[in-house]
Chain A
Amino acid sequence: MTQTSTLRRIISAPEFGPLVLLILEIAVFAAINPAFLSPLNISNTLTFTVELGLIALAMTLLMTAGEFDLSVGSVFGFAPVAMWTLYNAGVTSLFVGFVVALLIAAAIGLFNGLFVTRLRIPSFLVTLGMLLVVRGVALFVTDGFPQRTWSASGQWLADLLVGDFHVRPFRVYASLFWFIAAAIILGYVLTQSKFGNWIQATGGNAVAARARGVNVNAVKVWLFVLSAVMSAFAGIISSIRTSAANPNSGSGYELEVIAMVVIGGTALTGGRGTIIGTVLGILILRVMRNGIVLVGVPGLAYNIFIGAIILGMMALHSWLERRHQAGT
């Protein structure tokens, strides 16, 4: 009896669909091409996955509060440009440049948040504007050229952020641990903390939340700041690893990140969010991108599969939601 009810609870959890899809995906790719499960391929897949994943984790909280941020890709590209420009010009040490880049990102998030909450402009429009402004600044500052980053080796900050080492045959970057830590902390915040309850209430019914004394605007502003800072952090990690701070990098990431979050089961309309689901969503999209190439599907066909997954998962989530409502 308890066994069946536990099973039912697992099946009706919003994370169940994404989990099945991920397992299925891995099974199919592994069956077609055994190289898919090779240590080298797993290491390579994880490397970039966690960088994009950091943004998706922050976006999950923001979307649960009923807003989203289209400027994350631009901040991802701009933050490393700012850091390396400062460092290469000899103005600051690498660490100070890093801190300054994160502070600039925080200011961008603050600006987004205040525009959305004070002027009551939809976050779609505010962050779309910010996307263009930030990308434009990155291009203008650099004249469109990548910044020099090869002096990063030997810097303790670089080792701390993306130092790599080998665990048996796997090559692991330190960024993996940053991702795991962020997932645990943000998962805790969303489900266990008082602030998490406020996030869900803000996205679920802002009027009711406000009537109970929840500072809805502050919740949203903080989450916009978090989203921008995490994007900057991810961009800097990526730039050190690839030894390139390209002002164009990160374009289009905003949509991929939002896709990851909604595939995981977080509601686009707010009120309901899941970090575990987002982690699954991140893996689903990245494994798909990697696996498709390995099994011989032309890389250009990638988007067909991504689009199909998004549509399929949305249909599944909405079906589960309706069944849940009817079941009372």
Chain B
Amino acid sequence: MSEDLIRMEHIDKFYGRVQALDDVNFNVTRQEIVGLLGDNGAGKSTLIKVLSGAVRATSGDIIVHGKRVDIRSTTDAIALGIETIYQDSALVTQLSIARNLFLGREPLKGPRFLNRMDAKLMEQVTGELLRKVGIGKSIPASTPISSLSGGERQAVAIARAMHFDSDLIILDEPTNNLGVAETQGVLRFVRNARDSGHSCILIAHNIHHVFQVVDRIAVMRHGRIVADDIDPKHTTVAEVEAVITGEFADSTH
């Protein structure tokens, strides 16, 4: 049994009187890809927001690398090696791909006081990354985000997480609005990420995509984790769908 990278214990989250998360226990081990499934409103997004620092849990503990941590903001989460890629990926549309990729961590060149960005290095690294995620062919790194398609924007956000070596990359519906080639690029990236030592949480409505890449599937329903050790190799899509919708009272396998 490999060591836990992230462990969430007894997480509760209330929005006023509404309980979005109910005593959730969830973990991700090193080099593991976990698929997080559940119907709309099951609590997946809230769980991810807690982990990525977008909202704070009402109660419960988060343990990263064996240490109890307090994640108060997305900056805290990034510092702990947790990178989240949302559907509306957080990019500055006026800036170029390269400038977005390195935003906040721009490489400098020349004397420090000149504060000069190494634009050449940025464009070169960006070009390589874009090729890796499968959209490098025709798009130069100096293209502003505003002229990219939704899928291309997703790929840029993924390239960013990939480059900055996050331990855990959370992908919230990464294949939405993507073309076939782009989807394959994203899924390939998820596999590569595991091989290069990263862990991933993959949230997707398309169960077939999840089945292609994950090591383990966890299912949420009504703010609770109802199954967290479904092995995609020994389970069918239909069985998982039944767990998601709650057609089986319990989820024994």
Measured CB to CB, the residues of A under 8 A from B are 189, 192-198, 200-201, 203-205, 207-214, 271-272, 324-325, 327-328
Assess whether B74 is interfacial by the CB under 8 Å rule. yes
Whether the Cβ atoms of A204 and B108 lie closer than 8 Å is no
Whether the Cβ atoms of B75 and A213 lie closer than 8 Å is yes
Whether the Cβ atoms of B93 and A194 lie closer than 8 Å is no
Chain A residues in 8 Å Cβ range of B94: 200, 203-205, 271-272
Residue from B95, B103, B114 whose CB has the most chain A CB atoms within 10 Å: B103
Contacting B114 at CB < 8 Å: which of A193, A205, A209, A324?
A193
Given A197-B99, A325-B147; 20 other pairs, CB 8 A cutoff: A189-B115, A193-B114, A193-B116, A194-B108, A194-B117, A195-B115, A197-B102, A197-B117, A201-B103, A204-B92, A204-B93, A205-B91, A205-B93, A205-B94, A208-B91, A212-B78, A214-B104, A271-B93, A271-B94, A325-B146
Measured CB to CB, the residues of B under 8 A from A are 74-75, 78, 90-95, 99, 102-106, 108, 114-117, 119, 146-147
In the complex formed, the residue of B with least CB distance to A213 is B104
Chain A residues in 8 Å Cβ range of B95: 197, 200-201, 204
A interface: dominant SS = helix
Residue from B92, B115, B147 whose CB has the most chain A CB atoms within 10 Å: B92
Chain B residues in 8 Å Cβ range of A195: 115
Enumerate the 3 nearest inter-chain pairs by beta-carbon distance, A residue then B residue, closest first: A212-B104, A208-B90, A213-B104
Chain A residues in 8 Å Cβ range of B99: 197, 200-201
Chain A residues in 8 Å Cβ range of B104: 198, 209, 212-214
Q: How many Å lie between the Cα of A201 and that of B94 in the bound state?
A: 8
Whether the Cβ atoms of A213 and B105 lie closer than 8 Å is yes
Chain A residues in 8 Å Cβ range of B103: 197-198, 201, 208-209, 212, 214
Chain B residues in 8 Å Cβ range of A271: 92-94
Contacting A192 at CB < 8 Å: which of B74, B102, B117?
B117
Closest CB-CB distance, B86 to chain A, in whole Å?
10
In the complex formed, the residue of B with least CB distance to A196 is B117
Chain B residues in 8 Å Cβ range of A197: 95, 99, 102-103, 106, 117
Whether the Cβ atoms of A201 and B92 lie closer than 8 Å is yes
Chain A residues in 8 Å Cβ range of B106: 194, 197
Q: How many Å lie between the Cα of A161 and that of B94 in the bound state?
A: 37
Closest CB-CB distance, A104 to chain B, in whole Å?
26
Whether the Cβ atoms of A328 and B90 lie closer than 8 Å is no
Chain B residues in 8 Å Cβ range of A207: 90
Chain B residues in 8 Å Cβ range of A212: 78, 90, 103-105
Q: What would be 9 A-B contacts, judged by CB atoms less than 8 Å apart?
A: A189-B115, A193-B114, A195-B115, A200-B99, A201-B95, A205-B90, A205-B94, A211-B74, A328-B147
In the complex formed, the residue of A with least CB distance to B52 is A211
Q: How many Å lie between the Cα of A213 and that of B80 in the bound state?
A: 13
Chain A residues in 8 Å Cβ range of B117: 192-194, 196-197
Closest CB-CB distance, B83 to chain A, in whole Å?
10
In the complex formed, the residue of B with least CB distance to A189 is B115
Chain A residues in 8 Å Cβ range of B74: 210-211
